[in-house]
Structure 1
């Protein structure tokens, strides 16, 4: 047999090899040691002769993938060398399919940054684009590691400067991925499976969209303004706007996050692209994917706030509102906690052309909200139903004030409304709210009382602002000041429509007076002044009301003392006759000392 011709060794061990010995030493110590020789000097120290690495020794120190690429580069074939040179250039572990590799790469890069420090500067422009992509990795630990490396390299004060220095190179990388790259161009189809290529492509798209958002948020205003022209090709591309309907929820969510950033930092650009941006955002409100819904609604609020004419680019009645009603009827499709807090801010931004007629709009809106309480998720989740109820109350409060306050403001300048039943009916409504707000401690469910407490507080706050605007004016209109008393002097002495007397808002019921009836109309039997003895429907106890009255009295006293305003003095006298409370008299006493009866 051939084996008999081989040299035998004791114990059948392999013969010694200097090459293998050097390989073991290199693997254990990292370098090939030299040997100790004789020195040429008279000292007793031994001299050191360094070893010379051979080609095979160097190969053992190089990563296998890189070693293969380097060997291919030595081939004579130009095509082979060019292909392998491109592969070597694009060898980036930060985009590896394995998320653990990406995380470890960023952790290693952080240590490298800490070692090289300022020596990183010459390579910054070539690195920064991919560094931003890594900070927006869809795998949170990898993104966090990249952010830590970035923070290790630059202090918070230096980060905007570093990004501004490389802004063009960063945007080149991001735009190239968003507009030019494909799944096959980002990965080698021969070595990477179709699933891995597609996953990497979607991950790169998501990171690029988020990278634009991050870049805009961190740049200095001057650098951001200089970058607007560079963003124009991206926003003018039809491929970019198709990402709003992409099959991947991660890509769609990242797209709407980028839109929010564009609206916030580059309003001029979004205004120029309003014809494509508004439909892309406003007609996506029915996208209830958990990844997409929060950024979609944030983008909706940004668009309606940034682009005043946004509704001219969208058919609200045929496109926007039907989708809104469908989402509300389904209770937000299980996303009420994220969706419903945005409803009240949205209502505040809707113009009249969208909500008119208001009665029909709010009827459909609140009906859809109530139907949402019957959705499957709302019935099984207390947090979901609570989010719907809270949103309902907030929107109801806004709707009541939006419709009622303009009517009151109009009544201040029109005598016909002042002499009509408006203030009488308003008193009835406020008394009803007060009763329901006070019942929360007597057995009724607390949320019911909180609803009416919130309505009362909001009403008096808005009404107070309205009243102060008219009273705190040196040339205040007497007709409007008369209306601010919220009573009509004429109706206190005449019959009211439907045999009801005009009501005046007060805080406490007066002493009982003898009442006689004549022709079915109640009249006081005494000859006391009508203002004091008129029939009272109820006693408003809300502290916000008294605060408003006292605030108006102080404004009148200031105008009387400082400017000798007769019209404010007349208004003050009527105000005190209508709302005669101890607190109001104490407020007046600060300007004109007098004794207040304790009875």
Structure 2
């Protein structure tokens, strides 16, 4: 755009400058490091102090030289493209050229790996992998300069860059080779880490970075990477070098104020997280060497500030667990133990900031490590109240997996509590369980509530199974009491909810649906095997010893099965009692509020799930009627005959109970149907026509009786009612033996009535058309029987046409 055109170089392919230009380039290369790292106070570059002003481009091919020259540019796009070009050169060039470029690559890699642009850092690690892969063992002379920057890059906040760096580390140093490399380069690594972590990391920021945010991010990258590298060195450096590592690195760091200040780095979240990890590794490896004042300082730093970020909090609590595990008298390090509890409750009350799995590996080890003077009734009350508060966290409620993880954590803590020998265990467990029930049963969103009820009942069933097993094995009164209180909580919570129900249909149906799900889940969860036994045997390897072991295993399995069956029987007994009380309460509610149409359509599901003579006998007894037939005669029949309680679902309940009647009682029940209004009789016919009921002698006699005949005749006069037509056609059908389900007289009456009405009607009008259709469908229904009424009606249809 009007600028002066550059004159081409005087050498072929425009790749090498003149001698004066070459000299200027050498001078520039010699000062690049100082320009980038911004040396100050006369100090050497702090990140990599071994760098010196030397000519690193000597012996390069022209193509390699061009790429390395572009690395000094400020533009990240230029550097990224140069890295891509260099990667391609390494892959396609010969090994000698790549090896000659190793000193130059080592020089540039150390600052490219902390560049402010993430694309540059990602491309740097890709190129580094190609260079190291091509050179193989030839990289050894440069390893002491490469490895410190490589370790920092392996913990880059840009995941692709970090992943590439770690992958190349693993492929270059497989199995135990990394420990050997760390040993070889330990002095250089420690020099870099000590400088960066004792206040000199500021000098790593390049003068070319103008934006303050970029400078802060680069500083954070260097500090966090250095702390992670320190943690790796502590974990992987062989034990033989532990004294050297303590004297040369760890002890000086613990005496430096700047190192401790990193734990309070408010601007750099990643730095705090990395500091917690590094401190955990220091405690894990050198807990016996750490003086008490330093240990107290470390413990104070670990709990000093509340952490509001899940990732950082996870590292903090992991470090605290390491402290409790590795320091026998850890409570002497922690002057304010109440502060530890405060931080824990703050974490839980906030739902672990939407990361429930953070608590999964924390709570049980922490509870097991706390001194007894902290494990008071008040502590457990605060702990579980905090868990209930955390369960209201929006991030938890929105995520199914987070909710389930949180409930699992709560269940494990409750199980842990029941293993303790404090006098408040039973009372506290009962309180927690009751509150847990109330919490999940009152969640507003239907889908969330159902998921939480289902998962909670699965966990609670496992708790009861654990208590029953402990009770049987140890003859534990405490576990017996816990089991009794569990079922009392179930019943009292459900009955209280029923008492508070409004007469709104949606509220009633929602309540019943939730309670049915609760009982169904308890029923199925307890029966599920928690462990699957796998036994694989090979014929050619079977010996007498194997056969003996198999016999012993079989005997143990038989004993276990018998024990499991006894536990199931105890569980089912309590479960059935709870279901009976719930059903009685809903029957009372339906009668007192006159809302049977809202109650019984869904309550029938619970009656079907737990169908038994004992259940219906309990309902009959609740209403002062005996035996089971009394439930029908004293309760269900009057409700169906009246106006306020009548609903179709009650007929389904009657036919659930009928199998527990003797034949005389069944006949009496069917005969009483004549007292019902026509609509109720039709409901009864519809259910009796089902295969299970029409096969019974009493049901078959009633279907062929006069009440059904009169009802069928009335149905054929309602040709406009599709539901009536459907029931009529079912009545006219035949059974598997080809016999009519209803009486011959009923069929003859229907045929005569339909034909007579068809003859009187005009084929062209709507009534005639509907009658003709009904006659044709009725003839079709009778087609498989041995009677001639089908032909009779078909003739009438054709004659009318």
- Give the structure-2-normalised TM-score: 0.43
CA contact (8 A) 1:341 1:387 kept: no
Matches within 5 A, 1:257-296: 257-269=277-289, 273-284=294-305, 286-296=306-316
Distance 2:561 2:149 in 1: 72
User: 1:87 deviation in Å?
Assistant: 10
For 1:25, the equivalent position in structure 2 comes to 13
For 1:210, the equivalent position in structure 2 comes to 228
User: Given the alignment, which residue of 9, 16, 19 partners 1:55?
Assistant: 19
User: Given the alignment, which residue of 133, 142, 147 partners 1:114?
Assistant: 133
More divergent stretch after superposition (202-211 vs 121-130):
121-130
User: Given the alignment, which residue of 401, 414, 418 partners 1:396?
Assistant: 414
For 1:523, the equivalent position in structure 2 comes to none
3-state secondary structure, aligned to 2:310: coil
Cα deviation code 1:402-438 (max 9, x no counterpart)? 136x999xxxxxxxxxxxxx9xx9xxx9xx99xx9xx
User: Given the alignment, which residue of 170, 174, 177 partners 2:193?
Assistant: 174
For 2:358, the equivalent position in structure 1 comes to 338
User: Given the alignment, which residue of 281, 295, 305 partners 2:325?
Assistant: 305
User: 1:289 deviation in Å?
Assistant: 0.9
For 2:672, the equivalent position in structure 1 comes to none
Distance 1:456 1:372 in 2: 25
More divergent stretch after superposition (215-224 vs 391-400):
215-224
User: Given the alignment, which residue of 83, 93, 100 partners 2:112?
Assistant: 93
Distance 1:86 1:192 in 2: 25
3-state secondary structure, aligned to 1:326: helix
For 2:184, the equivalent position in structure 1 comes to 165
For 1:255, the equivalent position in structure 2 comes to 275
For 1:453, the equivalent position in structure 2 comes to 461
User: 1:264 deviation in Å?
Assistant: 3.2
CA contact (8 A) 1:271 1:307 kept: no
CA contact (8 A) 2:227 2:274 kept: yes
Distance 1:129 1:200 in 2: 16
Give the alignment's Cα RMSD to 1 decimal: 4.5
For 1:138, the equivalent position in structure 2 comes to 157
User: 1:362 deviation in Å?
Assistant: 1.3
For 1:126, the equivalent position in structure 2 comes to 145
Distance 2:54 2:214 in 1: 18
Distance 2:251 2:151 in 1: 20
CA contact (8 A) 1:256 1:299 kept: yes
Matches within 5 A, 1:138-157: 138-157=157-176
User: 1:459 deviation in Å?
Assistant: 4.2
CA contact (8 A) 2:303 2:343 kept: no
For 1:196, the equivalent position in structure 2 comes to 214
For 2:246, the equivalent position in structure 1 comes to 228
CA contact (8 A) 1:303 1:310 kept: yes
Q: 1:121 to 1:196 in 2, by over 3 A?
A: same
Q: Structure 2, unaligned stretches of length 5 or more?
A: 36-41, 46-50, 57-106, 438-451, 479-483, 485-525, 528-559, 564-801
User: 1:287 deviation in Å?
Assistant: 0.6
Matches within 5 A, 1:347-386: 347-355=367-375, 358-386=376-404
User: 1:316 deviation in Å?
Assistant: 4.8
**Larger CA Rg, structure 1 vs 2:** 2
Q: 1:332 to 1:151 in 2, by over 3 A?
A: closer
Q: 1:67 to 1:249 in 2, by over 3 A?
A: closer
Distance 1:451 1:291 in 2: 27
Distance 1:69 1:327 in 2: 48
CA contact (8 A) 2:118 2:158 kept: yes
Q: 1:462 to 1:55 in 2, by over 3 A?
A: farther
- Give the structure-1-normalised TM-score: 0.56
User: 1:86 deviation in Å?
Assistant: 5.7
For 2:549, the equivalent position in structure 1 comes to none
Distance 1:334 1:117 in 2: 45
Q: 1:283 to 1:400 in 2, by over 3 A?
A: farther
Q: 1:111 to 1:288 in 2, by over 3 A?
A: same
Q: 1:85 to 1:250 in 2, by over 3 A?
A: same
Distance 1:269 1:463 in 2: 47
User: 1:369 deviation in Å?
Assistant: 1.6
Cα deviation code 1:301-337 (max 9, x no counterpart)? 2122222322233355642223333333333333333
Distance 1:203 1:132 in 2: 12
Task: Give the number of the structure with larger relative contact order, counting CA–CA contacts within 8 Å between residues 6 or more apart.
Answer: 1
User: 1:396 deviation in Å?
Assistant: 0.9
Q: Structure 1, unaligned stretches of length 5 or more?
A: 1-13, 32-52, 73-78, 409-421, 437-443, 468-483, 488-504, 506-541, 544-580, 585-599
User: 1:366 deviation in Å?
Assistant: 1.4
Matches within 5 A, 1:401-416: 401-403=419-421
Distance 2:235 2:155 in 1: 13
3-state secondary structure, aligned to 2:288: helix
CA contact (8 A) 1:288 1:335 kept: no
3-state secondary structure, aligned to 2:419: helix
Cα deviation code 1:184-236 (max 9, x no counterpart)? x2234476443332221111000000011122222223234542222111122
For 1:314, the equivalent position in structure 2 comes to 334
Structure showing the higher helix proportion among its residues:
2
Distance 1:461 1:225 in 2: 51
Distance 1:87 1:198 in 2: 30
Cα deviation code 1:451-507 (max 9, x no counterpart)? 343334444666789x6xxxxxxxxxxxxxxxx7989xxxxxxxxxxxxxxxxx9xx
Q: 1:445 to 1:275 in 2, by over 3 A?
A: closer
3-state secondary structure, aligned to 1:352: coil
Q: 1:361 to 1:129 in 2, by over 3 A?
A: same
For 1:240, the equivalent position in structure 2 comes to 259
Distance 2:218 2:32 in 1: 23
3-state secondary structure, aligned to 2:179: helix
Q: 1:464 to 1:127 in 2, by over 3 A?
A: farther
3-state secondary structure, aligned to 1:354: coil
Distance 1:460 1:224 in 2: 51
